[in-house]
Chain A
């Protein structure tokens, strides 16, 4: 505790409340208010209605949610597999630094550039993926691998190498050591990597907007399009749907993490 006096504490909380409230809470509150607003001409919205939300949950719009969820699970979870695999492979190997740099490249460059790159690369035979959902999934995979790799590589640094060494000395083959010792020890990191990947994937716009086909439009892209056309209230309602879905999914994935080890 750095601040001891009562007025000092009160002031600290006030400043924190103001900054956090204005920067984090207020935008959420405005989006939620807009989602249920019939009109918003004064300071406060008026004519509360659930019409926008009903529209956001209607067949055609709900398809976007389904697309987002499928993309997030397919791309995000594939990214966890690939990220975990490469983090374990690169750990303590001589090209670890090179692997670090390589894996962080997709998030170091703007995601629009990643999208453009994929679009150019996969628009011709033999890798013609443009126009299919797979180019969207690949875009998400490429971006989320960086986060998964980072989370697992950081956890590997903290895991005592003695576990794997002792397991090997007990006669366990390398694959037995991997499946029965190393991966279980990394389970919390892998679970949080999965949560992070899925959550980020649910909200990805930059690369998606470059590559998505009409048949595979994710929820954030749909929100962007609606806002672009001036349908702010419907966009806000979709944003509420996106928010709720993401929170639910991430909470579920967090359960997988289980109780903390040691």
Chain B
């Protein structure tokens, strides 16, 4: 099923929580809404689910206008950050909730609940109450409950944000598997965590200050970010001010070979892992060294700008205060506007 947001604006009192958001998610596609808190990503999701009413714009499911429909009539699965499992119901009754609301026959409910609990690996917990489960287990049940009603659209609102790092990684893999199990499902995935967005999404919509600012396929957005905000938010890119002249781009007076100037783009974007140390690069000074287990992250000062550099942990690491030269390979550089 295709989800369409057509110029949707949401106001809460006087504050504008979402401003003319237009987005289409195709059947089988996963789109991540990525942005800092307060950027409007959750509001967009709530508008699709029907929890908030847009002050203008339309929401369509498969071309049909659902803007005025209550959430119960939309048939959309929703998973939220705090799980929202009904605390007074056992796991199996939580999963059966939507099926019973639709008055499905008893036998079908039992079968579907067993199937869903099997899908998320929670079969042996059917008789437990939510408070007897860990956070990760609760979120699995919440996913099973949302999928039990066979939704054609699944909305995930920061589903992993309340879990610790190890569980988050595990559940991320399970979500990837889930996409293969239900191939026609359209998924909107709200997160502030770029690694979740990169791992799951076909396309990423970057949001900032109630607006959708960039929307592109995941790899495109990562490799050639269209804006400075997206570049730094997605992949923590370095942004270096440049001077352009006569088909040459210079950083701190040093020509970067192979990079062509583009008018109006005044920043050079390069990922920390793409920067190399070596002869003939832009001169800089090391101001910090952080060991990260598999790598070191150096902070270098280049013409008043701090540049992050990832170094393999097995190589030589310069000390703080050392003068280094930063090589910026042209294939890893892209130019963005301020």
Chain A residues proximal to chain B, CB less than 8 Å:
160, 162-163, 165-174, 176, 180-181, 184-185, 187, 261-262
* Residues in B whose Cβ lies below 8 Å from that of A167: 86, 97, 101
Of A160, A170, A184, A261, the residue contacting B98 (CB under 8 A) is A170
Q: In the complex, how many angstroms separate the beta carbon of A69 from the nearest chain B beta carbon?
A: 30
* Residues in B whose Cβ lies below 8 Å from that of A185: 86-88
Task: Return the 4 tightest CB-CB contacts between A and B, nearest first.
Answer: A170-B98, A162-B84, A168-B71, A172-B101
Interface of A is mostly: helix
Known: A167-B86, A172-B98, A184-B88. 12 other contacts (CB 8 A): A169-B50, A169-B71, A170-B146, A171-B72, A171-B98, A171-B102, A171-B149, A172-B72, A180-B86, A181-B86, A185-B88, A261-B87
Stretch of B75-83, B178-186, B276-284 that contacts chain A = B75-83
- Closest partner residue, chain A, to B88 (CB atom): A184
Q: In the complex, how many angstroms separate the beta carbon of B189 from the nearest chain A beta carbon?
A: 16
In the complex, whether B49 has a CB less than 8 A from a CB of chain A is yes
A-B contact count (CB 8 A): 72
Q: Tell me the B193-210 residues at the A interface (CB within 8 Å).
A: none
Give Cα distance in the complex from A118 to B130, angstroms.
48
In the complex, whether B292 has a CB less than 8 A from a CB of chain A is no
* Residues in A whose Cβ lies below 8 Å from that of B102: 171
Chain B residues proximal to chain A, CB less than 8 Å:
46, 49-51, 70-78, 80, 82, 84, 86-88, 97-98, 101-102, 130-131, 145-146, 149
Of B74, B82, B87, B130, the residue contacting A169 (CB under 8 A) is B74
* Residues in A whose Cβ lies below 8 Å from that of B86: 163, 167, 180-181, 184-185
| Contact yes or no, A169 B49, CB < 8 A | yes
Of A165, A170, A173, A174, the residue contacting B149 (CB under 8 A) is A170
* Residues in A whose Cβ lies below 8 Å from that of B71: 165, 168-169
| Contact yes or no, A171 B49, CB < 8 A | no
* Residues in B whose Cβ lies below 8 Å from that of A261: 87-88, 131
Give Cα distance in the complex from A160 to B97, angstroms.
18
* Residues in A whose Cβ lies below 8 Å from that of B75: 171
| Contact yes or no, B101 A170, CB < 8 A | yes
| Contact yes or no, B72 A160, CB < 8 A | no
Interface centre among A162, A166, A172 (most CB of B within 10 A): A166
| Contact yes or no, B101 A171, CB < 8 A | yes
- Closest partner residue, chain A, to B103 (CB atom): A171
| Contact yes or no, A173 B72, CB < 8 A | yes
| Contact yes or no, A160 B84, CB < 8 A | yes
Given A261-B131, A262-B131; A169-B78 close (CB under 8 Å): yes
* Residues in A whose Cβ lies below 8 Å from that of B50: 168-169
